[in-house]
Amino acid sequence: MLTAPEKVGFSNTATIERKAQNIGDPIARLKYLRRVTAEPEPPKRRNPVRYVPFCLAVLLLTLRSDARLRHATEIHHAASPSGSEIQGVPNVWRVEATKDYEVFSNGLRIENDLAVANQPRSYRLISVDEQGRTAPPPLNPMPALPRPPHPAVKKDLRRLSPVTDGLPFEDGRSPSQRNIPAGIVFHTTESDQVPFEPGQQRNLQRITRDTLLFVRNKRAYHFLIDRFGRVHRIVAESDSANHAGNSIWADSRWLYLELNQSFLGVAFEAAMQNDQARITEAQTHSAKVLTEMLRSKYNIPAANCVTHAQVSVNPDNMRIGWHSDWGKGFPFHEVGLPDNYQQALPSLYLMGFEYDTLYVNSTGPGIWQGLATAEERLREASEAHRMPVPRYRALLRRRYSDEIRALHQWGADEEN
Amino acid sequence: MKSDASKAPAIGLDVGTSRIVAARQVEQSIRYDVQLNAFVSIPYSKMTENVLRKENVPYSVDGNEIVVHGNESERFADLLKKEIRRTMARGVLNANEPDSVRIIRDITSQLAGKAEKGQKLCFSVPAAPMGAEENLTYHEATMRDILAGMGFEVQSINEGLAVVYGELESSNYTGIGISCGGGLCNVCFAYLSVPVLSFSIAKAGDFIDSSAASVMGERANRVRLLKEQSFYMNGSFEDKLKQVLGVYYDDMIHALVGGMKTAFSGAKNMPKLARPVPLVLSGGTAMPKGFPERFEKILGESDFPIELSEIRMAADPLTTTAKGALVAALSDM
């Protein structure tokens, strides 16, 4: 048995992990990790007495005022990383669990009294590369392993992918499946709203209760954050919820279709009034600590925490934005995430969907930037494949149909 | 194809008991070449040799025998109703086959080709089997010698670690990689790319094949073919052979899970894990449908001391180790 205890004692692992996470190219990331984890530990033979005054000073400062400590934390969050920066996954652990609630180390409390089971989560992994990488390749590319094309995927579609032109896979291999969440979709409940003020207390509580029972009955989300900021567990995390049926998202490696299975659904008790959801400060804070916990637990990349408007599609007319909740105004920064509105929409550049003026009107400048980037990628990919955009888009659409058919067939096989 | 392949800066080689897989980066993709790590000998005749040459079947002449190696050996063994012979057993060179070194050189040479100047090659080696800390030095040194003799700059990688490098970049190469091959099941737990704990167990595909074959009075080779073509886990079978295969699969999984529990429970200086870690299954023996579910069920019943975030199959179980070896070679450049 091989053990290397002397090598696993290295310190500052959080920093190492954060830096590594920012390196997109797997080879470069491994190179970095092997270098930093091979470095010898700095000598530790120091006189501990030397540090006693310093430790005491730190202790006194931190104990001096709880308010001061909280103030410092708020400042830190206000300066949280912007847009393109990928944030590290915070470390959150469960402190207490009863049948009625759970408490976590970052202050998150989840109410469990309405929790309900649904179908166990299980979804098929589809390689983005298999779908045709349209983004410029990284400096030192190491694409994901080419997998055997599904029988439903026609030969000409497979040819689109620059990374599957290796040896064909002739043996029938079952596609990989996964049962942990890959991301989070944020929703609004679009339920009744009354002014958030003391005189409306009874109405507020009644509407919240009705909304909770409704979404529970529908198995609509995994979590609901009510207007008082309370986090309610609805569908068990291990199960799928009915929150984003026709939907598409992708990260650097995998394509996700019909996100009910692969993504967690987090809903705010809110409505897009005048195309703008108004949520309370308590809701924003709860969303932040809930997102932290989920990202920590499942190692969810920040880029996979997106809104319903970004993922929703309508296969009947091949337009995006069948649902447009959180099409603008989602407080990504306050929730501790980069501005994910700016991400190119995979439904456009990987699956050939289009958008209409209705979608543009119900969304904001953030998503418009994502639309422009997606269109640019689509153009680049069609040029790379030497075909006009409409023809390339038609191929992508056929690919979408094939993948959906394969997905449903796979789902049926799984049930059998 | 050959010329493209020869330009690859590095090669990853999975030297398995059952198969040898070569991985090389060709432009934006990884190309895999696979050969069965086996051979069969047939009586020499001029006519047979001519046919083999005409059909481009890889062979060598050894006295009054013709030795067919690689993928074609399976077909010939089936035709001649003979068992295929292995250059390796239980993850290392087969001491009972005096020609194993020569034949494995032929197979690796066929896969890796002639080395370019400074071309790196990283090959997989198994971890020591639990309870029988066999000396792996001879196997590793011999393989190193063979490959260096072909002109490569050679390094080796633990097989389980290669699975981690091949599959777990999303968790910063932290997690458990398991390769269920022909001779061994290799397990490695890595933390931020550093191998913390690794071991192997000697129950794997060959154990299942030979055990089932002895019960059924069949040839192990035929059992293997059936296993690879139509067996799946958790089924209720009319077919007796499939029933028997299910029994021995369960036995292997129990041995693997038991080994993991013992190894992880007894490990000292384990890093403090901030979050659950992923576990990836790979290798041909893990490929029957239902294997990950069965493994997860048995592991779930075992009180395994490490919290897992997921248990999943590798994207392509047959080539994961070779891919990981290639990743290791490229990261050393």
Partners of residue A299 in chain B, C-beta under 8 Å: 170-171, 275, 309
Do the chains contact at A5 and B28, CB–CB below 8 Å? Answer: no
Do the chains contact at A145 and B269, CB–CB below 8 Å? Answer: no
Find the DSSP H helices in B28-158.
46-54, 71-80, 100-112, 137-149
Do the chains contact at B197 and A1, CB–CB below 8 Å? Answer: yes
Partners of residue A91 in chain B, C-beta under 8 Å: 274-275
pLDDT digit string (tens) for A278-312? 899 999 999 999 999 999 888 899 999 999 999 99
| A positions 287-306 inside 8 Å of B (CB) | 296-299, 301
| A positions 147-206 inside 8 Å of B (CB) | 147-148, 162-167, 169, 171, 173-174, 176-180
Residue of B4, B316, B318, B327 to mutate, interface with A, max A Cβ within 10 Å: B316
Look at residues A315, A337, A350 and name the one whose alpha carbon lies nearest to residue A326: A337
Look at residues A392, A366, A364, A368 and name the one whose alpha carbon lies nearest to residue A378: A392
Look at residues B16, B10, B12, B72 and name the one whose alpha carbon lies nearest to residue B282: B16
Residue A12 — pLDDT band, cuts 50, 70, 90? Answer: confident
Q: Answer whether B202 touches A (CB < 8 Å).
A: no
Q: At what angle do helices A389-415 and A365-384 cross, to 10 degrees?
A: 100
Look at residues A53, A304, A387, A327 and name the one whose alpha carbon lies nearest to residue A187: A327
Do the chains contact at A299 and B25, CB–CB below 8 Å? Answer: no
Could you tell me the two tokens for A154?
Answer: 């026609």
Percent pLDDT > 90 in chain B is: 51
Averaged pLDDT score across all residues of chain A: 75
Residue A121 — pLDDT band, cuts 50, 70, 90? Answer: confident
Could you tell me the two tokens for B323?
Answer: 């891919």
Q: How far is A335 from chain B (nearest CA, A)?
A: 21
Considering only residues B248 and A127, tell me which one the structure prediction assigns the higher pLDDT.
B248
Judged by phi (left if over 0) then psi (alpha if -120 to 50, else beta), residue A72 lies in alpha
Q: Could you tell me the pTM of the whole model?
A: 0.53
- The C-alpha atoms of residue B125 and residue B162 are separated, in whole angstroms, by 10
**If you write DSSP's letter for every residue of B214-268 in order, what string do you get?**
HHHT--HHHHHHHHHHH--TT---SSHHHHHHHHHHHHHHHHHHHHHHHHHHH-S
Q: How far is A2 from chain B (nearest CA, A)?
A: 5
Q: Answer whether A22 touches B (CB < 8 Å).
A: no
Look at residues A149, A216, A131, A180 and name the one whose alpha carbon lies nearest to residue A304: A180
Considering only residues A396 and B224, tell me which one the structure prediction assigns the higher pLDDT.
A396
Residue of A21, A30, A129, A179 to mutate, interface with B, max B Cβ within 10 Å: A30
**What are the C-alpha distances in Å from B313 to residues A4, A43, A167, A348, A365?**
26, 42, 21, 30, 41
In chain B, which stretches have pLDDT less than 70? 1-7, 131-135, 234-238
Do the chains contact at A165 and B29, CB–CB below 8 Å? Answer: yes
Q: Answer whether A106 touches B (CB < 8 Å).
A: no
* Closest residue to B197, CB basis, from A3, A91, A165: A3
Q: Answer whether A76 touches B (CB < 8 Å).
A: no
* Closest residue to A298, CB basis, from B32, B309, B319: B309
Report the DSSP beta bridge partners of residue B89: B92
Count other Cβ atoms within 10 Å, centred on residue A135: 14
Q: How far is A42 from chain B (nearest CA, A)?
A: 18
Contact indicator for A32, A21 with CB cutoff of 8 Å: no
Could you tell me the two tokens for A210?
Answer: 């009705």
What's the pLDDT at A295?
Answer: 93
What's the pLDDT at A412?
Answer: 67
Mean pLDDT of A246-271: 94
pLDDT digit string (tens) for A166-203? 222 223 333 467 888 999 999 999 888 888 888 888 88
Q: Residue B81 in 3-state DSSP?
A: coil
Distance, first Cα to last Cα, chain B = 24
Partners of residue B194 in chain A, C-beta under 8 Å: 4, 7-8, 37
Q: At what angle do helices B137-149 and B100-112 cross, to 10 degrees?
A: 50
* Closest residue to A30, CB basis, from B193, B287, B319: B193
Residue B247's Cα: distance from chain center in Å?
Answer: 22
Task: Give the containing element (helix H, strand E) for A233.
Answer: strand A231-233
| B positions 93-112 inside 8 Å of A (CB) | none
Q: Does the ipTM surpass 0.90?
A: no
Q: How far is A138 from chain B (nearest CA, A)?
A: 10
pLDDT digit string (tens) for A223-237? 999 999 999 999 999
Spell out a b/e string for A78-89, using b for 16 or more CB atoms within 10 Å of the CB, else e: eebeeeeebbbb
Write the CB contacts of B210 (distance below 8 Å, at least 6 apart in sequence): B220
* Closest residue to B195, CB basis, from A2, A144, A297: A2
Mean pLDDT of A236-244: 93
Do the chains contact at B28 and A29, CB–CB below 8 Å? Answer: no
Q: Answer whether A137 touches B (CB < 8 Å).
A: yes
For B22, counting Cβ atoms within 10 Å of its Cβ (0-12 exposed, 13-18 middle, 19+ buried), the class is buried
What's the pLDDT at A67?
Answer: 29
Considering only residues B147 and A411, tell me which one the structure prediction assigns the higher pLDDT.
B147
- The C-alpha atoms of residue A333 and residue A340 are separated, in whole angstroms, by 9
Look at residues A58, A52, A32, A42 and name the one whose alpha carbon lies nearest to residue A10: A42
Find the DSSP H helices in A91-180.
128-131, 155-159
Q: Residue B185 in 3-state DSSP?
A: strand
Do the chains contact at B30 and A146, CB–CB below 8 Å? Answer: yes
pLDDT digit string (tens) for A314-366? 999 999 999 989 999 999 999 999 999 999 999 999 999 999 888 888 888 88
What's the pLDDT at A24?
Answer: 77
What's the pLDDT at A42?
Answer: 43
Partners of residue A301 in chain B, C-beta under 8 Å: 170
